[in-house]
Amino acid sequence: MIRSFNGKTPKIAASAFVSETAYVVGDVEIGENSSVWPGAVIRGDMGKITIGKNTVIEDNCVIHSGSPVQPPITDITIGDNVIIGHGAVSNGRRIGNNVMVSMNSTILHDAEVGDHSIIASGCIVKEKMKIPERSFVVGVPAKIKGEISEEQYWWSQNSPKIYSDIAQQYKREGL
């Protein structure tokens, strides 16, 4: 379901796949070859949400702009080649490129995640936390455990491509 809000209509690239049971509303931009899976909610009502290319927003994720922090921030960005795993929630201000946010983790308001970082499953990234590039982040609340391994780096480079291929097939089959 794609809906306008307050005069703003989501701008979705022609090659992107948005499941018909996802809900995308308001000031949202989604780049080429990105995909939004069933049950995901992308709610650009309190500020703009910009999602780059080849990025994957998996099933039942919630991405919401706006923030109760002072001074309030409104717009949020998610970079290119990012995977937001099943059930994850992000109110974060900026998620860099090639980041993996694993299943059911939560990124709270005004947090920033650097390029090539991995946020482990179930992690809670607290408000305003700044995560440098290539960090491996785990726990409740989240702690930086160190740098990502070479194998993790390979995944952050290659898994968005695997996903974008399957998303294109969904699109072709009209799902």
Partner 1 sequence: MILSFKGKTPKIASSAYVSKSAHVIGDVEIGEDCTIWPGVVIRADFASIKIGSNTDIEDNSVLHVKVAMDIGVNAVLGHNVTVHCSKVGNNTIIGNGAIILDDAEIGNNCVIAAGAVVTGGMKIPDGSFVAGVPAEIKGKVSAQQSTLIDEHYRYYTKEYKKFFREHDM
- Confirm or reject binding of residue 122 to partner 1 (CB under 8 A): yes
Which is closer to partner 1, CB of 45 or CB of 112? Answer: 45
Rounded to the nearest whole angstrom, what is the least distance from the CB of residue 19 to partner 1 in the complex?
Answer: 12
174 within 8 A of 119, measured Cβ to Cβ: no
CB atoms within 10 A of CB 7: 7
**Cβ 175 to partner 1 shortest distance, Å:** 17
Place of tokens 């009209």: 174
- 21 scored as a contact of partner 1 (CB under 8 A): yes
Binding of partner 1 by 41 (CB under 8 A): yes
Task: Give, as ranges, the residues between 130 and 159 that touch partner 1 (CB under 8 A).
Answer: 140-141
- Rounded to a whole number of angstroms, the minimum distance from the CB of residue 151 to partner 1 is 27
Contacts with partner 1: how many residues (CB under 8 A)? 30
Of the candidates 61, 84, 65, the residue with the CA atom closest to the CA atom of residue 74: 65
Question: Nearer Cβ to partner 1, position 15 or 121?
Answer: 121
94 forms part of the interface with partner 1 (CB under 8 A)? no
Q: Does 5 bind partner 1 (CB under 8 A)?
A: yes
- Neighbouring CB atoms inside 10 A of 97's CB total 19
Instruction: Please report how close the Cβ of residue 94 comes to partner 1 at its closest, in angstroms.
Output: 18
Q: Is position 66 an interface residue for partner 1 (rule: CB under 8 A)?
A: yes
Per-residue buried b or exposed e for 71-92, using 16+ beta carbons within 10 Å of the residue's own CB: eebebbbbbbbbbbbebbbbbb
Please, which residue, 7 or 174, has the CB nearer to partner 1?
A: 7
**Residue showing tokens 């039942």:** 60
**73 touches 90 (CB < 8 A):** no
Six token digits for residue 54 = 């080849």
**CA–CA gap between residue 157 and residue 94 (Å, rounded):** 19
**Closer residue to partner 1 in complex, CB, 6/157:** 6
